[in-house]
Structure 1
Amino acid sequence: MRQDLFIDVNEYETRVALYRDEILQEVHIERDGRYSLTGNIYRGRVNRVVPGIQAAFVDFGGDRSGFLHVRDVVPGGVGGVDSDKKDAEENSRDQFEDALDIRSALHEGQSLLVQVNKDPIAGKGARLTTKLTLAGRYLVLMPYNSRIGVSQRIREETERERLRNLMDDFRHEMSSPHGYIVRTVAEGVPIEDLEDDVEFLERLWRQVTEKAKAAANGEAVYQELPLHTRALRDLVNAQVQSIAVNDEDTIEQVKDFVASYMPEYIPGLMLAADSEYQKDKLDEELAKALMREVTLPSGGYLIVENTESMCTVDVNTGRFVGSKNLEDTAFKTNMEAARVIARELRVRNIGGLVVVDFIDMDDAVHRCDVMETFEKSFEGDPNRVQIGDFSEFGLVELSRKRTRKTLAEQLGEPCLRCSGEGIVKSVETTCFDL
């Protein structure tokens, strides 16, 4: 399937939209002065250790202390500014985590390196981890882990084995104890490209550790790439046919990045000739993504309700009455919903617990077909998704990893006409649209 990337930049915000066969699949937005913290590494200080929830609160320079759970603490207490990375190799990770108590791992006043896992959301502080990672084009470096992992989306066993062997060879040549995850885009790439990525990440980690030694508490020692270059690193794959940018200054930065890290995509890079049309098209898609109701192709519809505790999706036949019987109508509507829900969650960036109320079906084969279609629809989702089976009440539960604010939180505000139950465009978003 063809994919296209559109990068929309103005003086107030940057928007990156990924399309598949001209249908919006994913959108990222950063506004001036309110950038995502996810991926940034800071020198932090433990403010409070709370045994009752097996967590600590860490001052990392944010507006409020970040939350660090015991599961996100590296075995052996690694993650401190002066800690020895070899400690991580000598610990059995599973045994350590089963027995770990937050009081034995951290203490008040302790200085340590933390990375933001999740942006502050709904009045909650950022979620932190000491299991640091640095992402490259093809690889993710794990300085406090020694294992080699390969993306599950690379399914051919011979290729998986090739990549594992190459990574072992690179680590041996460089005398590196660090672990790596091989990303999906590394499938089939030449040895030289992987080696360049290893050298880049090892060099970057050395820079981080050197900066950390002199950093004050609350100071950033590593900051993620700007949105437009981060999107190129994370979203561009073999299916992407074009990268359109609407800003002349930004396209020069994009050209430099593409030439250095993915030169094969230079022919598809262009200054958007019809940027106003593309911008208006994106505005229209985003307006739809703020609405509760989503229309299905045959006339059915979804009602998407997102609350602080969970998201619920109700599937309805609407004006679609089918041509055979109720079972057939329910099956066709559910099949359409199974394909659309995955896209809606991704575009709206809804994470956490999601409960889908499909229309009741008596036929077990139909239920299996809907579940198979539903699971397949999430295959391109970059966030980790876990899907349960139909419950006895016809509900399907899933969890989707949440790392940043939802689209509604970024673009909207509570509707005063309905006592805050609905979402409308914020004043700021409306001004940007003018």
Structure 2
Amino acid sequence: MEADALESLFLNSTVTNLTMFSIQSPTVGTVVEDNDPEIEHGMMKVPLIKAVFLFAYILVFFSCLIGNSMIITVIIVNRSMRTITNFFLANLAVADLLVGIFCVCQNGAHFVIFEHGTWPFGKTLCHMYVYILHMIPNSSAGILVLLSIERFIAVIRPMLVHHLMTKSVLVLCSVLVWIFSASMNLPYLFAVQYLELKDPETSESFGICTRRFSMWNGIHILQLVSTVNLIFWYVIPLSILMVIYITIGFVLMRTTEDDSVARSANHSRPIMVGNNRRMSEAPKIEVVDSRRRVIRLCVVIVLAFALLSAPRYIYLTWSVWRDTNSPRCLNCLSAMIQPTTFLLMFINSGINPILYAFLSQRFRHAIAETFTFSKTKKTRQAKLMLELYQRRMSTGDHLTGHSNSDVGGRQRENSVVESLINF
């Protein structure tokens, strides 16, 4: 009973202080969705639920921190990894690393560890936390679109990718994504509100990191920003991603079918290489396998972005449009929706190193060479040179008897393959 009474006292004190703030500033109110001190008194007190969430937050934190740090280090240290695709992956890793540093631990401590939804990290981290929490997912979405456009060009027009995606273009596109994302979320930075409250019973002070809303010419600023972010940084990017990867899938499947027909027609005819007879089917098989891996990877990329980002975007938009005076059930499962949406968004940042890098053979080799100091670099380089030599031999008209047009087609095909393998 004493604990319940103290808890009620905390809540009444908090609500009273927030109400006083609203009265003193008639044009400004308080939205406590992001760090509402009432939310945590329900289901999160159940030991099993608390343990599960705590374990998940710890796992996601280390995944964000270690995984993305490894990706950035590998790209910086290994000159051969500084490709167009990896440039975008490095930007994505930086964004996800910021999520791990400034958001995951703070959010987990707020929801799982500390009582009454308190914020023990101070005013500065409160501002950084709320701003980065809203900005980084948008930046990641923009970078993901740039990465997908580069993949699209590499598959559809492989000979143009290096002419279009120059160093200046890459830097400009990335900078624009960061600038747009940062500027469009500035209202959240100005809406951050750090409150220091005091328990009248114990005279202990505690902080709350929340948001305040403001009206401008009858427009609810956070409602406008949240709705625009949902459309501009989720709905539109997801639509672009779906169109791009569906097109890539059709192109790769059609090319795979053409290769199968060609292999069937030439199955009984060996290919002459110099004075020796040698079959060049191995590179073709590698081509087919590489394309299939890319198709699967594209599907995973789109699904991960769509499924893990959607709950947070939708909940955030709902939170600023809902009636803040309506009662909320703190002991219902619905009270777990908010921390779950946060956790899913953080998981997306934690698994990005796996989806975009660890599924790439080149990244696996580069990670092994960078962090294990293995002596496999020369062996890997020799293998890559042999594969490149085999591809060139299979495209030579003076060796295979194919026409110049066939040679051009195979060269374009090899450009596609090399681009996909580099990914």
Calculate the TM-score normalised by the size of structure 2.
0.25
Report the TM-score, using the length of structure 1 for normalisation.
0.25
Structure with higher helix content: 2
Instruction: Return the structure number with greater strand share.
Output: 1
Rg comparison, structure with higher value: 2
Greater length-normalized contact order (CA 8 Å, ≥ 6 residues apart): 2
